[in-house]
Amino acid sequence: MKQAALRPTPAPHGGKLVQRVLDTKLVERALRAARTLPYLTVGREVIVNMEMIATGVLSPLEGFMGSKDYRSVLDRGRLADGLPWTMPITFSPSTHGREQTVEKLREGHEVALLDEESREPVAILHLEEIFSYDKDERAQKVFGTTDRKHPGVDHIYRNMGDLLLSGTIDLLRRTHWGPFEKYRLEPKETWRIFYEERKWETVVAFQTANPLHRGHEYLQKCAMELYDGLFIHPIVETTRKAYFRNEFRIMAYEAALDTYYPKDRVVLAPLRVTMNYAGPREAILHAIIRKNCGCTHLILGRDHAGFGKLYAPYAAQEIFKDYSPEEIGITPIFFKETFYCARCACMATEKTCPHGPEFHITMSGTGVQDMLRYGYLPPKEVLRPEVGQIIIQGIQPKGLNEEGQAIKPPADTVLGLFPSYVTHHRLGGAERQKPLDPATLTVRDIEAALQDVRENAATIYSDISEAIAHRFDTSRALENRQRSEALGEALKRQERLIEILEEKVEDAPETVPDPFMYQDKEEARKELEVARRIYKEMQKPLEPEEFRHRIWNPMEYERYTR
Ligand SMILES: [Zn+2]
C-alpha cells in the first residue's frame, strides 16, 4: 500500500474554504451602497482579521464570532459545534467617541466598516448579535494572566470596547502589503500551487517573524527529508514595530533560499496576522491557519508564541494532546531547542547530542538581533553570512550609544548565544576557576566570545579528526608533512638531551660541596629519568615501512570480489 493512502486527505478546517471577498462585479455597487449605511471606523488589526476571514485563512469563520462561539472558545477551546478553536476572533469597536453609533445599531442591520485612516469602506458587516463580555475573564482564559505588561492583555483594556459585534462580513477591498505584496498568496492559490502545480502530497509549514537562522534551517531541512514541500510563512506583524525593516527581511529570506534551498521544494509567502503571544492557544490557531493554506504538517519549536517566561517552554506542544489528530487535521512536528555543537560539528538538540554546554552555541533569535544591533555579524554557525549581510543593514534601532557602549545589558547577548563563555575559558576549553559575573560583562566580552567561536568552532572537530587520521591513514600521501617533520626533529632533540644527561650522571659525584653550583648523582639521575619518560610519551613519527604490516589479506584479493 502506498504510504500516502494512510494519511487523511488534506482539507480546510471544518471542510470548506471560506470566500468572502466580494466579487469584483459587485464591488462598485456595494461601495455606493456602503455610503448610505450606518458605519463604524476600524483600525488595522480589525482590517487584517477581516482579510484573513474573507480569504479563508480562518475557515470556517465567515465573520466575527457570536456569543455562543465566544463562550465555547473561552471555556472549551472549541467552537459551539465542537470544532477545535482556541482564540476568540471578535469585533469590538472602541467606545471612544463612538457610543452613539453603536447604540443606534440593531441586530439585522448592515454596517459599513471604514478604514479609520483613509475613511474608505473596507467591508460590510451583517450584524447578527451585540453582546457584552468580561475583559478580566477574556485576559485570564486566553493569556493566563491579567497583567497589562502582556501586549495581548493590554490590547483588551486599551483598544477594545465593552460590546462585541458579531456577524458575517463581505470584504470590499484588500489592503496593500507594501514590500510583501508581490509575495502574497491566498489559501486558494497555495492549495493550487502545492497540489496541482507542484504535485506534492505533503507540505510542511514553518512560521517565523525573523530572518532565518541556522536553527530554523535545521528544523526545516529535517522536515524536508521526510516530506515533499516546505511552506515558509513568515508573519508580517501589525501591532509591533518590526526589528528588521521589511524590505531587508524579504531580501534576507531570499538570500537564504537562493543559496541553501532547492528552489522547487520551497514556497515563500508572508502572512499578515496580529501576534497575540497567547502561547499554546495561539499555537493551535497557527496550526489551523496552515491547515487552511493546504499544509499537512507544521513545525513547532520551543515556546511558540511565548511571552517572557509566562508559558512553560513546551506548553504550545502539550496543548495538542487536548485534541484528536483527526479533528486538528494537521500534524504538528515538535522540536526541542536547537544549538550548534562544535564537538558534533553540526546542528543538534538535546535529543541528538551527548556533549556538554561548553561545546554549544545557542540559536537565540534575540541574541542574533542584539549582535546585529551592536554591529557584529553573528557566527556562521548561527547565521548564514549571506543573510547577515542583508539584515545587519536593516535592523533598527542600533544598540550602541555614542560612547560605543551597549544600551542593553551585554550579558543578555553573551548568555543568549554563548552560554558557556562565563563558565569556560573558551569553546570546548577548560572551566574557569570562578564563573564571570554577568553584571560585569561589556561589549568587549561580546567581541571576545564571538572571536573565540569564529576561531574555534570549526577547528575542534577537525583537530580531532586529523589527530586520529594521522595515525591510521595507511597512505602517507595524506600526511601533514610539516607536523611529522617537526615531531621527528623534536624527538631527535630529546635523544640528544638524554645523551648529555647520561654523561652528566656518569660524571656526577655522590655528594657536592655547593649544591647551587654542582649537582650530585641522585639529582642528575632524576633529571635523566624525566627526560627519558618524556621521550617515551612523545608520539613517534610514523615511517612508511611501519604501515606495511597493516596492508594484508589472508586470502588473495580476487577471492573476495568474485
Ligand atoms: Zn554534540
Q: How far is the CA of 416 from the centre of ligand 1 (A)?
A: 18
Q: How far is the CA of 537 from the centre of ligand 1 (A)?
A: 30
- Rounded to an integer, what distance in angstroms lies between the CA atom of residue 275 and that of residue 239? 7
Joined together, the cell numbers standing for residue 399 give 544598540
Q: How far is the CA of 354 from the centre of ligand 1 (A)?
A: 5
Block mean pLDDT (10 aa), the chain, length 562: 56 96 88 89 92 98 98 98 97 69 84 92 96 97 96 93 95 89 95 97 93 95 97 79 79 95 96 91 97 96 87 92 95 93 96 96 90 93 96 89 84 92 95 95 94 95 90 84 89 96 94 86 95 91 80 83 72
Q: How far is the CA of 459 from the centre of ligand 1 (A)?
A: 14
Phi, psi of 132 (to 5 degrees): -95, 165
- Rounded to an integer, what distance in angstroms lies between the CA atom of residue 473 and that of residue 462? 15
- Rounded to an integer, what distance in angstroms lies between the CA atom of residue 31 and that of residue 173? 10
Q: How far is the CA of 438 from the centre of ligand 1 (A)?
A: 25
Q: How far is the CA of 378 from the centre of ligand 1 (A)?
A: 20
Q: How far is the CA of 344 from the centre of ligand 1 (A)?
A: 4
State the pTM of this model: 0.88
Q: How far is the CA of 16 from the centre of ligand 1 (A)?
A: 46
212: left (phi over 0), alpha (psi -120 to 50) or beta: beta
- Rounded to an integer, what distance in angstroms lies between the CA atom of residue 438 and that of residue 126? 58
* pLDDT score, position 364: 87
Q: Rounded to a whole number, what is the distance in angstroms from the first to the last CA of the chain?
A: 37
Coil, strand, or helix at residue 312?
coil
Q: How far is the CA of 350 from the centre of ligand 1 (A)?
A: 9
Q: How far is the CA of 524 from the centre of ligand 1 (A)?
A: 47
Residue corresponding to grid cell 478546517? 13
Q: How far is the CA of 151 from the centre of ligand 1 (A)?
A: 37
Phi, psi of 331 (to 5 degrees): -95, 120
Q: Where are the domains of the chain?
A: 13-171, 179-335, 340-460, 477-550
Question: Please, are residues 244 and 234 in contact by the beta-carbon 8 Å criterion?
Answer: no
The three-state (H, E, C) secondary structure of 526-541, written as one string: HHHHHHHHHHHHCCCC
Q: How far is the CA of 241 from the centre of ligand 1 (A)?
A: 37
CATH code of the domain made up of 179-335: 3.40.50.620
Closest among 548, 259, 223, 526 to 388, alpha carbons compared:
259
Q: How far is the CA of 395 from the centre of ligand 1 (A)?
A: 32
Run of H or E including 467: helix 459-472
Q: Which residues contact 412 (CB under 8 A, 6 or more apart)?
A: 366, 367, 370
Q: How far is the CA of 307 from the centre of ligand 1 (A)?
A: 29
* pLDDT score, position 97: 56
Q: How far is the CA of 298 from the centre of ligand 1 (A)?
A: 26
Q: In DSSP terms, which residues pair with 258 in a beta bridge?
A: none
What does the DSSP 8-state code read for residue 197?
I
Question: Please, are residues 64 and 91 in contact by the beta-carbon 8 Å criterion?
Answer: yes
List of long-range contacts for 537-542, beta carbons under 8 Å, 24+ apart: 538/487, 538/490, 538/491, 538/494, 539/487, 540/491, 541/484, 541/485, 541/487, 541/488, 541/491, 542/470, 542/471, 542/476, 542/479, 542/484
Q: What topology is assigned to 13-171 in CATH?
A: Sulfate adenylyltransferase (3.10.400)
Q: How far is the CA of 439 from the centre of ligand 1 (A)?
A: 29
* pLDDT score, position 515: 81
- Rounded to an integer, what distance in angstroms lies between the CA atom of residue 232 and that of residue 247? 17
Q: How far is the CA of 457 from the centre of ligand 1 (A)?
A: 12
